[in-house]
Homo-oligomer: A and B are copies of this chain.
Amino acid sequence: MEALRKHFEKFITLSENEWQDLQVCLTKETIKKKNLLLKENERCDFIAFIHEGIFRFYSFNDDAERITAFFFSGDFVSNYRSFLTGKPSEHNIEALADGVIYKIKLEQLKQLYDKHQTFERLGRLIAENLYLTVADRLDSFMFQTPADRYNELVKRNSKLLLEIPQYMLASYLGITPETLSRIRARK
């Protein structure tokens, strides 16, 4: 639970009182490798803080799985679009390893927004952060070649390289496993 508090405090400082109110909203869950945290067509009514574990966020395009994102311990994981709009998710979230998470439900978060201005601000900061993350990723798809994207990933994100099989990385980079293998070969 302390890890969780530290993580929130990267965004904002919580008073003892606010932290208490937050804690009662959080429910701890465990999840086994290969199980789904969220299924296609379900509404995503939660945000989960990952205490332990790895998750992949993917959907089906025709018949092929396409991975949009990975999440690690210390991250928040959710289908944020479904969470914000109330529309059913077009994606699945799958545990790639056994995990422990803390969930907060939409309804309870709304109550926190109303109760303390601090949470309203936290909500803003999280949304701003997510904006920056997606905007970066959009840029990489608009302006970079697959090789560029792979090199950047190598530079920045050794965690992905160590923990994720190559065919999933390829999907995440928007290319086929064959192409990724060739990119790696010609270096």
A residues contacting B by CB (< 8 A) are 61, 66, 68, 80-81, 84-85, 113, 117, 120-121, 123-124, 127-128, 130-132, 134-135, 137-138, 141-143, 174
Contacts and interface: CB of A to CB of B under 8 A. Distances in A.
Q: What number of copies of this chain does the assembly contain?
A: 2
Nearest to A141: B141
Contacts of A127: 124, 127-128, 131
A167 B68 CA distance: 30
Nearest to A120: B120
Is chain A's binding surface mostly helix, strand, loop or mixed?
helix
Contacts of A141: 138, 141-142
Contacts of A85: 132
A84 B130 CA distance: 12
A174 B145 CA distance: 12
Name the residue in A68, A80, A84, A138 with the highest tally of chain B Cβ atoms < 10 Å from its Cβ.
A138
A88 B186 CA distance: 35
A128 B106 CA distance: 14
Contacts of A120: 117, 120-121, 124
A85 B125 CA distance: 12
Contact of A132 (B61, B84, B137, B138): B84
A131 to B, nearest CB: 5
A16 to B, nearest CB: 21
B66 A128 contact: no
